[in-house]
Amino acid sequence: MRLLIKGGRLIDPFKRIDAVQDLLVEDGKVRSRGDQLDDSGCEIIDASGKIVCPGFIDMHVHLREPGFEYKEDIASGSRAAACGGFTTVCCMPNTEPVIDNEAVVGFVKEKARKVGIVNVLPVGSISKKQSGVELSEIAELVTAGCVAISDDGKPVMKANIMRNALDYAKMFGLPVLSHCEDLNLVNGGLMHEGYYSTIYGLRGIPAAAEEVMVARDIILARLTGGHLHICHASTAGSMALIRQAKAEGLKVSCEVTPHHLTLSDEIIDGYDADTKVNPPLRSEEHLLALREALLDGTVDCIATDHAPHHFEAKDCEYELAACGISGLETAIAVIMDKLVRPGLLDIKDMVKLFTTGPARVMGLDKGTLGEGKPADITIIDPEMLKTVDPRTFKSKGKNTPFKGMELQGWPCMTLVNGVLIAQNGEILLKKQF
């Protein structure tokens, strides 16, 4: 099959392309780019006024399967990803059973093959059962198809375990994705420790709870030479430490989330549990520091930390509510509306943070529209104006603090291997559950 995407603004940071060009797709791969390509025998997509990009990658999602299918499963999560403009997602291991052995990795991959409509790549657990006590069989996880290791959802509190993880992962060129949080400093906190935690009467979590673990893990990365990736970095201090580590030449990378880039702890005044997330929404000072780090190259990628929950887990007192935001279907629109449209972030940099950035961190042969590459493509309509309505989400998780917000700039088409799978928030590809 031949498909011609005509007249879009093609942005490919890897190829350093930013131009109005046609894109020819044949047999699921990128065939060529250029001006006014021959459209004979082609199915046509008119991309005039649209932005055509390599397929966006979300390197940090929780698909909840196996074990927590009432929150999300691979079928629903992959459809949420497609409608959100993502063609590849990396799923975290805090499932039941934990993704800590070949059998569970095999289950995830096979389920993704059968019911998934985007590329689903499993992340294995650093420790067996995410206990933080004994390393998983990392070689087994790599052989089975894991692209990284992480205990995300639970910090690795024991320094010797993290050291060994970095050492072993280095043998396989695997990044270690670290959830940096000192539980002793968290101490039952519910939101960022500061002015608003005092005003709202909620126990606070200091920025130091994240920063001391970032500092520790950077020291261990220096010791081992392993690739350390800081998940959902949220504080000014973390950014300063990561910036220094990079200047030193250490193999350290990091991600930030759309919610930490655009929402501050002030919005918790209504005690809406959809604002409860881990790490917590920080003060304006930290939010601005994250934005600065986007611009100076400290941040490698934007990731959603998509954490869907069932209704009852959020429809309760703030203290009892689960942490997490369902972010796959709003991420691009949030960044487009809150950062790109006001001129705070260049569109080319945004595309890089969702494509070549995560591809490089995870060692993936993705994130470009180079000739011969799989035709994973995200098309964005910068003029599309929609109100966030969780009732329309394909995700089972409707927990979002962005509900009711009017946002401009949405993904309008998502293609995987040259097949149009989602358009304007609806799934086109019919695949049996």
Active-site annotation, residues: 305
* Angle formed at CA 332 by CA 329 and CA 334, multiple of 5 degrees: 95
Query: How far is 430 from 307, CA to CA, in rounded Å?
Result: 25
Please say whether the beta carbons of 122 and 101 come within 8 A: no
Phi (first) and psi of residue 164, to 5 degrees: -65, -35
Q: Which two tokens stand for residue 14?
A: 């890897």
Q: Is 263 helix (H, G, I), strand (E, B) or coil?
A: coil
Q: Which two tokens stand for residue 356?
A: 């070549």
The H or E element spanning position 357 is helix 356-362
Q: Which two tokens stand for residue 332?
A: 């691009």
DSSP 8-class letter at 425: T
Q: Tell me the residue type at 131.
A: S
Torsion of CA 49, 52, 58, 64, to 10 degrees: 70
Query: How far is 178 from 214, CA to CA, in rounded Å?
Result: 8
Q: Is 187 helix (H, G, I), strand (E, B) or coil?
A: coil
Number of residues written out for the chain: 433
- Nearest CA-CA partner of 353 in 153, 91, 54, 80: 54
35 burial (CB, 10 Å; 0-12 / 13-18 / 19+) is exposed
According to DSSP, the β-strands at 176-178 and 228-230 are parallel
Query: How far is 378 from 53, CA to CA, in rounded Å?
Result: 5
Q: Is residue 93 reached through a cis peptide bond, with omega within 30 degrees of 0 on the bond before it?
A: no
* Residue tagged 């459809």 (tokens): 79
* Residue tagged 């990795």 (tokens): 105
> Number of C-alpha atoms within 13 angstroms, CB side, residue 203?
9
Helices 102-115 & 74-83, crossing angle to 10 degrees?
A: 60
Please say whether the beta carbons of 28 and 375 come within 8 A: yes
